[in-house]
Each structure stands twice: as C-alpha cells, then as structure tokens.
Chains A and B, each alone.
Chain A
Amino acid sequence: MENIQSLENLILEMRRGVIVLAVLSQCNQEQYGYSLMKSISEKGLEIDQGTLYPLLRRLETQGLLSSSWRLEDARPRRYYMISQEGQEILPKLVEEWESMVRMMRHMLE
C-alpha cells in the first residue's frame, strides 16, 4: 500500500515537471482556465485544478502568458494566451524536452 502511494507520488512529481511546457504549448490560442484544463486532459495529461489555475497566474506574472477578462453570457471569463516572451521561450523548452527524452531513452536502454 505504501509502495503504491510512493509510486503515485513519484509519478506526480515527474508530471509536475512537464506541466509548464504542456500549458504553454496549448496557449497558442486564447483559452480560459476550464477549457485549457479540458484540452490538456483530452490529450492525456490530468492536471489538478488547484495546480493549474495558480500556475496560469504565475506564468502571467513571469511574462510568459498574458490574460484579459471578457464578458460571455453575462459571465466574466479570464482568457490566457502565450505572450511574445512566451513564444520566444517555448521552442527552447521544446528543444530541451526533446534532448531530455533522447538522453533518458539512451540511459534506460
């Protein structure tokens, strides 16, 4: 039981490392929080709401995302989109990710 818990924690920790890349890659078009979570989830990566929403704020503070409030169906929604700075950083992160995948494959062979 304890081993299963440890395994889950280890997997969670591994996934945490790729969330930023996943979020930035999905923000090429404007997305509001819930739609972004659904879109990432449909592609197989489950992100907890308590992780995603504060992360969006953090990425905005870091200048990698920009946000704007919009009124839709009499309801305010905050839309996020990758910023100019984010667009410059994303390819570098993708390159780094691919290099890490190659390195890990080589290591695990």
Chain B
Amino acid sequence: MDTLVDRYISAVSDILPARLRKDTVTEIRSLIQDALDDRSKTEGRPPDDEMMVAVLKQFGSPENIVSPYLPEKYLIGPRLFPTFLMVIRIVLPIIAVLSLLGFWLLYNLNGSITAAEFFTDLFKSLGNSLSAVVQAFGNIVLIFAILQWVLPEFKAKAKEWDPHSLKAISQPDKIKRGELITEIILTLVALIIFNFYLARVGIYNNLNGQWTFTPILTTAFNAYIPWLDLFWVLTILLDAILLRKGSWEVGTRLFSILMSAFSIAIAASFMTRIQYMYTLHGALGELGGEGMLQSLLNQILIVVFAIVIITSAIKIVQMAWQLLKNKRL
C-alpha cells in the first residue's frame, strides 16, 4: 500500500517538468525521509501516519515545494508587457469605434427605419462591436505569447545611458493657445461664409475672358446649416472657456467628448448623403465631364469624412482616458 509520502512524491512528480523530475523527486524524498527520521528520534517512536502528516505539513503542498525549483513562466513577460498594453490601448478602441461606425452607416443608409428596428440594429451593432474587441484582444494576446516564446532573452543594452535621452514630461492638461485661437478664427470665418455668403459658395470659371459662377451646394446641404451653426458656435464657446481657464478640466473634457460625438454624427450623415449635398452640373461649362469629376470627388470626400470620424473617435478615447487617469490620481 502506498504511504502518504509516496502520494506526496507522486503529486510532486506530476508537477515537475521531465528534465528536473528524477533528480528533484529523489532529493525531496530523501529530505522528507531525513525529516521523518529526525522527528522519530526526537519523539522516541517509529514513524507513523501522524508523523508523516506533521512532516508533510512542514514541507507544504506539492505545488508549494515545487514552485521554487521552477523558473517563472509568463504568457507575456515583463519585457513585452508594456508594449502589449500600448498595442491594446491603441487597437481595441479603434476596433470598437470602427464596428460602431458600421451601425451608423447602416442607420443612415436605411433612414426610414422604425424605432424598434433602430434599437434592434443598435444592440446587434453593440454585440458585434464587443465580439470584435474580444476577438482582437485574443489575437493580440496570442501574438504576444508567441513572441514571448520565440524571442531570445532580453539583455540590457550595455551602451552608456544619457539622461538627456529622457522624454519631456507630458502635460496633457495644458492647453495650446495658438491652436485654440486659430480654431476660433477659422470657425468664425466658416460661420460668416455659410450664413451670409452661402449663395457665393460655388465654382468660379474664367471662360473666354468672362467670369462665370455656378453654385454647387444643394438644398439638402442647406438643411444642415442650423446643425453646422450649432456645432461651430459650441466649438467657439469651448475654445473661449479653455482660453479663459488656461487648462483642461473635467467639465471641458466632457464638453469636448460631446463635441467629438457631435462631429462624428455630422460627418457620418454627410458621408452617407454626399451625392445629394452638392452638384457640379454645368460647373465646367463647355469642358464637360462633371459627372465623372463628381463621382471621383465623392470618393475623396467619403475618405475625408471617414478620417474625421476616426480622428474624433480617437479624441473621445484620449479625453475619456485622461478623465479616468486624473480621477485615479
């Protein structure tokens, strides 16, 4: 019949890797036997089950006794973990935003859907987004686990370290006055043009020494003017508050998040209805080819609006991250 020591040794053997097993198991058995002999001598009686239990308790569980013999193993070790975190922080928000963008496109293409359909699509889209994020997370972990396994042990660089190579401390709460003032001026210009000189927005041609003007914006675009006005006025208001306060605070960050969401909504709406927003009909005069040019321009504008959406989404993530970070501090 196997004793408690035999069972203990068998459990230890199961945990150890093959290359260490024989030697380590023999040594641990010998050590347990020595401890038992010593206890037996002290207590003046032969070893029994009670004694074995006491000695094995001293040694601790098989996992406990084996762990110091084994090197530490990581799925993603300390040298790769900072890079892993950086990749996760960049990739996952982008994937989440792009998946949700799919919902916006779907919603805008089917403008006449009912409220029930809207919420069904919204939940489906949130589910898809979550699934895409989880899948991306799994893939990134897998890639880093392979890198951890494949890459040779990292050795610290022997070359002399220069303190001047340290990066300047980032000041995420500090505002950039120059950028804010430029934004206010450009926004004011846009407000003036689209509210007072809308009829003059178009294409000017000098054909045969005579200037001709063709308006390009349609009534579909004009319907957006109140929304654009609201967006621009709020932008100026936010910039003015920032200039007055001198730094980002919780309120202004939340305001900025709402503004970015607003710009995503406007850009997504423009993106899906771009062909109705303007017309080049007759703009090129006798040269012709407006149809082809408009088609090409539509593609370019779609890409531009997509960039606006992605940039705004990244800004939302950055602002939310700073809010959480400041809260933790």
B58 on interface, CB distance cutoff 8 Å: yes
B60 on interface, CB distance cutoff 8 Å: yes
A57 on interface, CB distance cutoff 8 Å: yes
Task: Let me know if A75 and B27 touch, CB within 8 A.
Answer: no
Task: Let me know if A32 and B30 touch, CB within 8 A.
Answer: yes
Report A62-81 residues with CB < 8 Å from chain B CB.
69, 75-78
Give the docked Cα–Cα distance between A23 and B289 (Å): 91
Chain A positions within 8 Å of B60 at CB level: 49-50
Task: Let me know if B69 and A54 touch, CB within 8 A.
Answer: yes
Task: Let me know if A75 and B30 touch, CB within 8 A.
Answer: yes
Q: How far is the CB of B290 from chain A (nearest CB, A)?
A: 79
Residue of A33, A34, A69 with most partner-chain B CB within 10 A: A34
Give the docked Cα–Cα distance between A107 and B64 (Å): 38
Chain A positions within 8 Å of B64 at CB level: 50
Task: Let me know if B26 and A76 touch, CB within 8 A.
Answer: yes
A33 with B68, Cβ < 8 A, contacts A49-B58, A49-B59, A76-B26 known = no
A38 on interface, CB distance cutoff 8 Å: yes
B33 on interface, CB distance cutoff 8 Å: yes
B14 on interface, CB distance cutoff 8 Å: no
Task: Let me know if B35 and A34 touch, CB within 8 A.
Answer: yes
Q: How far is the CB of A106 from chain B (nearest CB, A)?
A: 31
Task: Let me know if A33 and B38 touch, CB within 8 A.
Answer: no
Task: Let me know if B34 and A32 touch, CB within 8 A.
Answer: yes
Give the docked Cα–Cα distance between A4 and B64 (Å): 24
Query: Nearest A residue to B67 by beta-carbon distance?
Result: A50
Chain A positions within 8 Å of B65 at CB level: 49-50
Task: Let me know if B30 and A49 touch, CB within 8 A.
Answer: no
Report A1-52 residues with CB < 8 Å from chain B CB.
32-35, 38, 49-51
The A/B interface has a contact count, at CB < 8 Å, of 43
Report B33-77 residues with CB < 8 Å from chain A CB.
33-35, 38, 58-60, 64-65, 67-69
B31 on interface, CB distance cutoff 8 Å: yes
Chain B positions within 8 Å of A49 at CB level: 31, 35, 58-60, 65
Give the docked Cα–Cα distance between A17 and B28 (Å): 24
Task: Let me know if B58 and A75 touch, CB within 8 A.
Answer: no
Query: Nearest A residue to B69 by beta-carbon distance?
Result: A54
Give the docked Cα–Cα distance between A59 and B43 (Å): 34
Residue of B38, B58, B59, B68 with most partner-chain A CB within 10 A: B68
Query: Nearest A residue to B70 by beta-carbon distance?
Result: A54
Chain A positions within 8 Å of B58 at CB level: 49
Give the docked Cα–Cα distance between A49 and B28 (Å): 10
Chain B positions within 8 Å of A35 at CB level: 34
Query: Nearest A residue to B33 by beta-carbon distance?
Result: A75
Give the docked Cα–Cα distance between A49 and B35 (Å): 10
Query: Nearest A residue to B26 by beta-carbon distance?
Result: A76
Chain A positions within 8 Å of B35 at CB level: 34, 49
Give the docked Cα–Cα distance between A44 and B27 (Å): 25
Query: Nearest B residue to A51 by beta-carbon distance?
Result: B68
Give the docked Cα–Cα distance between A54 and B31 (Å): 12
Select B27's contact among A38, A50, A51, A78, beta carbons within 8 Å. Answer: A78
Query: Nearest B residue to A38 by beta-carbon distance?
Result: B38
- Annotate A60-100 by CB proximity to B: 1 below 8 A, 0 otherwise: 00000000010000011110000000000000000000000
Q: How far is the CB of A15 from chain B (nearest CB, A)?
A: 16
Select B31's contact among A34, A51, A69, beta carbons within 8 Å. Answer: A34
Extra contacts besides A50-B67, A53-B27, A78-B26 (10): CB < 8 Å? A33-B30, A34-B35, A35-B34, A49-B35, A49-B59, A53-B68, A54-B68, A75-B33, A77-B34, A78-B27
Query: Interface of B with A (CB < 8 Å)?
Result: 26-28, 30-31, 33-35, 38, 58-60, 64-65, 67-69
Selected A-B contacts with CB under 8 Å, 7 pairs: A49-B59, A49-B65, A50-B65, A53-B31, A53-B68, A75-B33, A76-B30
